[in-house]
Structure 1
Amino acid sequence: MSIVSDAYSAITNSELMSSYVSSDNVRAFNLPQELIDKTKETVMLITATGYKRGGFAGDYSTKKLETCQIQVWYAPDADMDGLTTTLIHLMEQNHIFSRQGPGQDVDPDTLQVFDTFPFWREKKEII
């Protein structure tokens, strides 16, 4: 499965994450307008950001580094630190690791505080 599918499954099936964001408000690849309009609720979007091949053995690569980002638009009363800590621990439990992100900002369209979390994982591929 892809890193996006695995991250989506981990988040939507986590009891801990459900205290921060409803699984109905988590999407992969695109956000429908109905979620964009939910400015009073926390919303997540998971998207793939790329991959690269590595671990070359002769003429063939044996590893694939996958990357994704998880964007979070916070509800006005959201526990941002709690969500961040829980999200990073949940991803690490699923062998998906965080990189330094740009930090929180305000979305100019919705005026919500949002954050972007970049993640990566390395998969070994046997040919």
Structure 2
Amino acid sequence: MSRHDEQLVASQQISLIQSYESLLGRTRQMLDLADAAEWEALIGQESDYVIAVGQLEQTLPMDDLDAPSQRRLGELLEQILDNDLAIRQRLVERRDALGGLIQASRRQRDLNRVYAGGQVVNAASRFGQDSA
């Protein structure tokens, strides 16, 4: 491999590590948003995250990395996956909470229907009996 090729590979390795460090920063921001229950902002960040991950798929193969770069990349990937798992756990908790609210709303709606919107119904008049 020529000196120029070695420099190119070294530059690509640095760029790849920096891309993963950036991705790690993005997952930290997303986790902070999830912890703060900033769901709309989290969803906005998620689309950027997916794009960033897609761009990484087009980068240097892992086999072309030297041992220190592979080690660093492994550390970054582990942290990224840990953050991703934590974000997913927060989203599941949020989904479950929303599911509970939906169930409570349905029960309230059903109760309102049963009690005719809060109006007292004279059962005697419904069955053809006068209450005189």
Could you tell me the TM-score, scaled by structure 1's length? 0.22
Q: Which has the higher strand share?
A: 1
Q: Which has the higher helix share?
A: 2
Structure ID, larger Rg: 2
